[in-house]
Chains A and B, each alone.
Chain A
Amino acid sequence: MIERLETLWSEVRHRFRALVRRDAVERDLDEELRFHLDRESEKYVRRGASRDAARRYATLAFGGVERIKDDTRDARGIEVAERIVQDARYALRSLRSRPLFGVVVIATLALGVGVNAAMFGVVDRLLFRAPAYLRDPGSVNRVYVTWTTDRGRGWLRIADYAEFADFARWSRSVSQIAAFCHYFSLAVGTGDDLKESPIGIVSASLFDFFDARPVVGRFFTAQEDSVPAGALVAVLGYDYWQRQYAGRRDVLGSTLAIGRATYTVIGVAPKGFEGISDRQPPVAFIPVAAYSSGRSDNARLARLAQPHEWWQNYDSEWLEILVRRRPGVSVDAASADLTNAFRRSWLARAAIEPNLPSLGFASPVALAGPLQLGRGPLADAETRVVVWIGGVAFIVLLIACANVANLLLARALRRRREIAVRHALGGSRRRLIQQLLTETLILAALGGTAGLLVAQASSAVLGRLLLGGTGAFGVLTDWRTLAFSFSLIVFVALVSGIVPALHQGGEHLADSLKAGMREGTYRQSRARTTLLVIQAALSVVLLVGAGLFARSLHQVRSLHFGYDVDPVVYVRTSLRATKLTDAERSALSARLLDETRSIPGVVSASRIVSVPFGTSESRALSAPGADSIRRPGRIMLQAGSSDYFATIGTRIVRGRGLAASDRAGAPPVIVVSASMARALWGTQDPIGKCIRVGGDTMPCRTVVGVAENIKAHDLNGAPELAYYLSVEQRAVLFGPEAPALFVRVAGRADDYVERIRARLQPLMPGASYVMATPLHEKLDVRMRSWNFGATLFLAFGALALGLAAIGLYAVIAFSVAQRAHELGVRIALGAGVSDILRLVVGEGIAFTAAGIVIGGAIALTAGHWVQPLLFDVNASDPLTYTLVAAALMVVGLLASAIPAARATRVDPTVALRTD
């Protein structure tokens, strides 16, 4: 036993010494062997041999010195560690000797790895990552529901409280169920501190899904979240607590105004806890019951035919449902069970809503869907575009790898003699490949590290662009991203190193040594040309994608909305807890309108009730003699002041718009959109026709004008229907809404937003407040997918093209250098400048053309998958393809023209003399 240990200790000591004191050990070995050879020679000298002969005999008897040394090193058992160190040193030395090569390779890989690490962060968050602290995410599902209506069938992930309660009561397959709403921004704080912030409205049971403990205080209990009123308690988000309260522990018991009520802080969620947040993390969590009972929608509920409390209400879907399946219950089984519960719920709802479609017609279905929205049936175009962009980033990485492989190949060809000599000296092929792979691994590691920095830097942009404003996300602090990047680095090293390594190992030793620097014939490496063509082809694919998205964005931008977007500011108010009578509301609106009109730079202003691509009002409607509209569907009701059409820029195509004379007592009038006039009366003249708004018993309103069509919900659908009332006449029917305005300004809306808000806020009573935003923000949200699709495809496409250009340039330049001799011969034999140019540029063009053809074919094939993400652009749009082909040709020409120009300057006398 002791001997074993001694042996072991000896091994360790020797290996360690060999590794650490490498030079000393190496010197010792040299000296030892030299001593041996000297003694051996002396022996022969004593026997009468000459010094030289003696030396030769000694060496012969000894065997190959270098080989013996290698074997001895092996015998010391240090080969693995030592070789890596040796290879690494060699790699660093050769990097230092050619810094430009190193910089280009590392920069290329940094970009490749960087964009991938960053995109991984985005895609992971959208599709794969489970919410922080969630216990056993595999058993947790989001509930989706669907049923048939007149307008068809579509998935919904929101339900009302009564539905949630029914699910909780009647589903058998789930062990936990919670309701949450994370997408409301409510007014938080008061006075100058007031800010609209995301609030998590959650059932107390939500916390049970997580292994999270409050850092301070406690979460709220089921008692505090029970009907009818719950308790006004709030749990703060960690970041908000740090930001707003500087992490003070005495925050417990303090109060915070959220929405219309004031809540008492009872706890702080742990760092990173966001509940099931798909967007910005909530600043605070409040009980569903407390929020619901505080909503002053009770007036609206009271107007509904059926008297019921908020917890019995089925008709305002806003809560998402989360369930945990019981152990052993499959997703399908859970879905079936939830569907059962949903059908019972449907019957319960039918009992209080007589107009509800029958169970048979509606055929309601519930689904235990994926936790991540991006994987569920309601995945939005944005998520799909993001996934595409993730794929694009990977293509950029492949191009980067191809480039690096190409550069390594070029260098390998340049080092052929060195490698041949190392071969001849006994370096095994395996050893050479190992060495080259070590070198690529080092390059990849350096590039990858730089890439992580690139990723961290770009995460701020990507986060804002792709994750909906959460800003920079952790790259260097996130182990998933780090692990991914690490595997990328290994991948990169293998992919870009393997081709050159095999290529290098396969060199014919004798040929290389014989050929020397001068080669009469010029061989183009097939590996290199293949890589080049692949690069060009991938660039074409990316650029086609960029072109298609850019064209989509252009189409959306040049879309005629039927109103002006850019010069309009949208002003809305929230009354919070302030109670105003109808008369007071109207008076406040009038005051705000007058004040707005007095602001310099404001052209006109109008009160409104609906916002395109925002919330819009819709009411029951009938037109005697025209029954093509049975259900209200999505007909937008807009109410405006006399300046409405001038303010928003919608043209009146017939009759008149709204006038100041259309007051409450005046004859009721209505302006309809051209599409609505057409839907109701076909080609008949709509002026003078009658429409009843709000029910069949309402008075007849005379159509006095027709406005042009507008787009208010759907960017690519058919023209939408809309009608317009004066605000005073609308208020007679439905009561005044909280004040809201459209303001047309001279100049950019963004410049007026704060000015308008500051002027109006002093007019607001109590805790109520004014918010002003440019109208274009509503549309920007809709254009996001094309916007970032175009931006990122273009950025990555340009990156790919740049890389391909560098690759092409390097290959052509290298081949020119390699062919200097041949070119010299040609020039000496009378070839002119144009011949040489044609020869060299022709080569570059041939590669580029092959790339264009192959890339074009790939893009055409992949086109139909992207088609649904485009806007009014065909995926095989000829213009895009032509432009991309032209761009690539230009790049190919430029990249080969520079070395070609150099080729024409080859001096035959010099070229023929060398080597």
Chain B
Amino acid sequence: MTDEKLDLPQGTLDLLILKALSLEPQHGWAISERLHQVSRATLQIPQGSLYPALHRLERRGWIKAEWGSSDNNRRAKYYDLTRTGRKQLDTETDAWNKLTVAVSLVLGMS
């Protein structure tokens, strides 16, 4: 098995989670599925590593958790963005875009 720690750059997983949650509240497995589907070709995220990240974000107050029932009628823990979380997503997306633009500019230098 590869290292459980992320291959992703530091803090990127948080950004991905925030993004995944920006559309609607979801439980952990669904977030994992979505990230998996959307990024299948490029990103390998061990499912387990999602949970420490979720709990860290919750602790920071960027997302909030609520127990609800899932589509197959089981109790599941749904995560949703808070107001701070939404702002955070904006800031981080912005920062990320700037970073990638800058990096690709540098890499595109001829």
Enumerate chain A interface residues (CB-CB to B < 8 A): 3, 6-7, 9-11, 14-15, 28-29, 31-33, 35-36, 38-40, 60-65, 67-68, 71-72, 74-77
Residues in B neighbouring A6, C-beta threshold 8 A: 61, 84
Known: A14-B58, A36-B29, A72-B55. A7 touches B48 (CB 8 A): no
B47 close to A10 (CB less than 8 A): no
A11 close to B4 (CB less than 8 A): no
**Given contact pairs A40-B47, A72-B51, a sample of 17 additional A-B residue pairs in the complex whose CB atoms are under 8 Å apart:** A6-B84, A9-B61, A11-B59, A15-B59, A31-B77, A32-B28, A35-B77, A38-B74, A61-B46, A61-B47, A63-B46, A63-B49, A71-B52, A72-B55, A75-B56, A75-B59, A76-B55
Known: A6-B84, A40-B29, A61-B46. A76 touches B59 (CB 8 A): yes
The listed residue (A10, A29, A62) touching B48 by CB distance below 8 A is A62
B48 (CB) vs chain A CBs: closest residue: A63
B53 at the interface (CB under 8 A from A): yes
Question: Would you give the shortest CB distance from A265 to chain B, in whole angstroms?
Answer: 68
The listed residue (A10, A36, A40, A74) touching B60 by CB distance below 8 A is A10
Residues in B neighbouring A29, C-beta threshold 8 A: 51
B40 at the interface (CB under 8 A from A): no
A7 close to B32 (CB less than 8 A): no
B52 close to A28 (CB less than 8 A): no
A7 close to B84 (CB less than 8 A): yes
A766 to B105, CA, bound (A): 115
B77 close to A10 (CB less than 8 A): no
A62 close to B46 (CB less than 8 A): yes
Known: A3-B84, A3-B87, A35-B77. A62 touches B47 (CB 8 A): yes
Known: A7-B84, A35-B27. A75 touches B61 (CB 8 A): no
Known: A32-B28, A75-B53. A68 touches B77 (CB 8 A): no
A65 to B62, CA, bound (A): 25
A72 to B53, CA, bound (A): 8
Known: A63-B48, A65-B48, A75-B52. A35 touches B74 (CB 8 A): yes
Residues in A neighbouring B77, C-beta threshold 8 A: 28, 31-32, 35
Question: Would you give the shortest CB distance from A497 to chain B, in whole angstroms?
Answer: 31
B51 close to A32 (CB less than 8 A): yes
A122 to B109, CA, bound (A): 81
B52 close to A35 (CB less than 8 A): no
Residues in A neighbouring B62, C-beta threshold 8 A: 7
The listed residue (B4, B55, B61, B75) touching A67 by CB distance below 8 A is B4
A474 to B29, CA, bound (A): 63
In chain B, residues 4-22, which have Cβ atoms closer than 8 Å to a Cβ of chain A?
A: 4
A614 to B73, CA, bound (A): 99
A11 close to B48 (CB less than 8 A): no
In chain B, residues 66-110, which have Cβ atoms closer than 8 Å to a Cβ of chain A?
A: 70, 74-77, 84, 87
Residues in B neighbouring A75, C-beta threshold 8 A: 51-53, 55-56, 59
Residues in A neighbouring B51, C-beta threshold 8 A: 29, 32-33, 36, 68, 71-72, 75
Query: What are 10 contact pairs spanning A and B, CB under 8 A?
Result: A7-B62, A10-B59, A10-B61, A14-B58, A32-B77, A36-B51, A62-B48, A74-B52, A75-B51, A75-B52
Residues in B neighbouring A68, C-beta threshold 8 A: 48-49, 51-52
Question: Would you give the shortest CB distance from B55 to chain A, in whole angstroms?
Answer: 5
Residues in B neighbouring A32, C-beta threshold 8 A: 27-28, 51, 76-77
Per DSSP, are chain B's interface residues mostly helix, strand or loop, or mixed?
Answer: helix
Residues in A neighbouring B76, C-beta threshold 8 A: 32, 35
Enumerate chain B interface residues (CB-CB to A < 8 A): 1, 4, 27-29, 32, 46-49, 51-53, 55-56, 58-62, 70, 74-77, 84, 87
Question: Would you give the shortest CB distance from A35 to chain B, in whole angstroms?
Answer: 5
A462 to B58, CA, bound (A): 59
Question: Would you give the shortest CB distance from B82 to chain A, in whole angstroms?
Answer: 8
B67 (CB) vs chain A CBs: closest residue: A28
The 9 closest A-B pairs by CB, nearest first: A10-B61, A63-B48, A75-B52, A68-B48, A75-B56, A71-B52, A39-B29, A36-B29, A75-B55
A9 (CB) vs chain B CBs: closest residue: B61
A282 to B5, CA, bound (A): 73
Question: Would you give the shortest CB distance from B70 to chain A, in whole angstroms?
Answer: 8
A68 to B51, CA, bound (A): 7
A3 to B46, CA, bound (A): 31
Known: A7-B84, A72-B51. A36 touches B61 (CB 8 A): no
A513 to B84, CA, bound (A): 50
Question: Would you give the shortest CB distance from A60 to chain B, in whole angstroms?
Answer: 8
Residues in A neighbouring B27, C-beta threshold 8 A: 32, 35-36
Question: Would you give the shortest CB distance from A33 to chain B, in whole angstroms?
Answer: 7
Question: Would you give the shortest CB distance from B81 to chain A, in whole angstroms?
Answer: 13
Question: Would you give the shortest CB distance from B25 to chain A, in whole angstroms?
Answer: 14
Question: Would you give the shortest CB distance from A7 to chain B, in whole angstroms?
Answer: 5
Residues in A neighbouring B29, C-beta threshold 8 A: 35-36, 39-40
Residue from B1, B53, B70, B77 with most neighbouring chain A CB atoms (10 Å): B77
Residues in B neighbouring A74, C-beta threshold 8 A: 52
A75 to B54, CA, bound (A): 9
A853 to B58, CA, bound (A): 65
A3 to B27, CA, bound (A): 25
Residues in B neighbouring A72, C-beta threshold 8 A: 51-52, 55
Question: Would you give the shortest CB distance from A6 to chain B, in whole angstroms?
Answer: 6
B28 close to A36 (CB less than 8 A): yes
B49 (CB) vs chain A CBs: closest residue: A63
Residues in B neighbouring A3, C-beta threshold 8 A: 84, 87
Residues in B neighbouring A76, C-beta threshold 8 A: 55-56, 59
B47 close to A11 (CB less than 8 A): no
A36 close to B52 (CB less than 8 A): no
Residues in A neighbouring B84, C-beta threshold 8 A: 3, 6-7
A38 to B48, CA, bound (A): 13
Residue from B28, B48, B62 with most neighbouring chain A CB atoms (10 Å): B48
Residues in A neighbouring B28, C-beta threshold 8 A: 32, 35-36
A7 to B87, CA, bound (A): 12
Residues in B neighbouring A63, C-beta threshold 8 A: 1, 4, 46-49
